[in-house]
Amino acid sequence: MEQHLVLFHTPLSVYDVANVEDMNRELRERLSEEARTTPGMRRSNAGGWHSPADLALRTEPCYRAVMKLIVDHVGATQSKAVAAMGLPPSPWRVAAEAWAMVMHNGDYTIAHEHGDAHWSSTYYVDAGDADLERSPDSGALAVLDPRRGGRPIPGLDPGSTFTIRPRTGMLVVFPGWLQHYVHSYRGTRPRISIACNLTLSPVERDASTSSAPR
């Protein structure tokens, strides 16, 4: 008998979401004005404007639309990860906390994680106009290998960092415990993103309950 397992995997999904131009335009206008007129918070950001973590509670249609988009895609990632492990689907309820980040030239975030959340995500309302020729990692999201120490196995090691270059309308979903940071942004147009932490709680299955998070 032989078994060949890949244990303790780290699911990460990247989605390019279609037909979001109108939503992005309204989000960009609202968040740019808020960043201009209100003080930001300081968390993992070095520079830039960090909104209050109340976007999931806002009632304007653009915020309701982006939260539905995030929850639906996190549900898809959850379902794919469960299926890949050969486990039965289970219904969940979702609690979400979301905030916006507006970055200008030179702003970045330090390495951090959201260990109290099951899933984290970043949605790019406007990826900005990064000068990739002069600064290839400008504004890029970097996720760090969660394994601590040890000698890499030749041929099976992708490196200690995986870099994702933002695109407007892109959504990235990853486990909350995965450390990540943002490279210094180099551009003239603001880089606007919405980050979200989601926690899942099981619910009893009935005839009307879906297996995807709600």
SS3 of 117-176: the string is CCEEEEEEEECCCCCCCCCCCCCCEEEECCCCCCCCCCCCCCCCEEEECCCCCEEEEEEC
Which token pair is 22?
A: 């109108």
Is pTM beyond 0.85? Reply is yes
Which token pair is 188?
A: 């003239």
Q: At what angle do helices 21-37 and 61-84 cross, to 10 degrees?
A: 120
User: For 57-64, which contacts have Cβ atoms below 8 Å and span 24 or more sequence positions?
Assistant: 60/26, 60/30, 61/26, 62/23, 62/26, 62/27, 62/30, 63/27
Residues 107 and 105: their CA atoms lie apart, in Å, by: 6
CA-nearest of 199, 158, 165 to 9 is 158
**Mean pLDDT in each 10-residue stretch from start to end of the chain (214 residues)?**
82 97 98 97 95 98 98 95 87 95 97 97 97 91 87 80 96 97 97 98 65 51
Domains and CATH numbers, the chain: 13-146+158-202 (2.60.120.620)
CA-nearest of 16, 49, 53, 34 to 196 is 53
Torsion angle of C-alpha atoms 210, 63, 97, 35, degrees rounded to 10: 170
pLDDT value, residue 214: 52
pLDDT value, residue 213: 54
pLDDT value, residue 183: 97
pLDDT value, residue 205: 64
The bridge status of strand 119-126 relative to strand 170-175 is antiparallel
pLDDT value, residue 62: 98
Residues 48 and 165: their CA atoms lie apart, in Å, by: 18
